[in-house]
Amino acid sequence: MVPGLVSVIIPTHNRARMVREAVESVLAQKDARFELIVVDDGSTDETPEALGPHRDRLRFIRQENRGVSAARNRGIQVARGEWIAFLDSDDLWLPGKLRAQLSFFEEHPDLLICQTEEVWIRNGRRWNPKKYHAKPSGYCFGRLLERCLVSPSAVMIHRRVLNEVGLFDETLPACEDYDLWLRIGCRRPIGLVPEPLVIKRGGHPDQLSATVPALDRYRIRAIAKILETEDLTAELRVQAVAALQAKARIYAQGCLKRGRSEEARAVLSLAARYGTSNSHGSPCSNPRG
């Protein structure tokens, strides 16, 4: 591990033009020591050629198509930096993003993860997020259960945190980031740099949210997993059980409307394992410890 170095990891799959723009937004960062790692997750387009002009300024790794979690994990495994930052290949960083986060950590040495605000662009037009999309700050496990409020492209994490909680879950085809933020959020506070230093570009047809149906099934799996594997405090466990049961009810209703009664029964059965009699679970640890 190289102290002070930020390892920037960009996973990509068949986004030759967009990944080139993402890479250039990283290479334009000033006043920060970083290495750039691009993990090509089985692209069949011109990605290698698109990055040709910049190959001497980045590490380019190719692997068979195994999904975004495996690509990010591969980057983490070869990274040398003390800090890890991610950038999705369809997003961009604005100037000063890395420096702002490193300065934030210098001012808040007790924090080991933070994110910045973002500018959202959908189909080429500015889009204003709703109030419920507001990014949290501090101990925020309850809000993280509601929806995915940490953006991979905006986050910076100390390697120690990933050593504690593990990497992205490669068995999840979607909501793998939601799963990781829950594992971090039940243990640690998350900082927020209030400046919008990331451009989050959406609306294109190859986004996971557009290609993977019924995303809530994977959020339900993530909550069930954290109830099984994490030694939550009584308070956090109650929050997780409530979120699991609420999401399961909504998802089951949707399944029944579409004639998928067996799937509805399965998800309700999963939620039923964690009733009020179970809500306090096993011995509790202090997430602030």
Question: What is 94-142 written as a DSSP string?
Answer: PTTHHHHHHHHHHH-TT--EEEEEEEEEETTEEEPPPGGGPPP-BS-HH
- Could you tell me how far CA 81 lies from the centroid of its own chain? 19
List domains and CATH numbers for the chain.
Answer: 2-210 (3.90.550.10), 216-278 (no CATH)
pLDDT at 184: 98
pLDDT at 130: 87
Structure tokens belonging to residue 19: 């990944």
pLDDT at 215: 87
Q: Which residues does residue 70 pair with via DSSP β-bridges, in sequence order?
A: none
User: CA dist 97 to 57, 101, 108, 114, Å?
Assistant: 19, 7, 17, 12
pLDDT at 229: 94
The residue ranges of the chain whose pLDDT is under 70 are: 204-213, 276-289
pLDDT at 129: 84
pLDDT at 209: 53
pLDDT tens for 65-106 read 999 999 999 999 999 999 999 999 999 999 999 999 999 999
Which residues, in sequence order, are CB contacts of 251 under 8 Å at separation 6+?
Answer: 214, 216, 217, 220, 264, 267
pLDDT at 204: 62
Q: What is the pTM of this model?
A: 0.90
pLDDT at 288: 39
Structure tokens belonging to residue 214: 């019924």
Provide Rg for the chain, Cα atoms. Answer: 19
Structure tokens belonging to residue 137: 């700050």
Structure tokens belonging to residue 127: 């889009």
d(CA 98, CA 83) in angstroms, rounded, equals 10
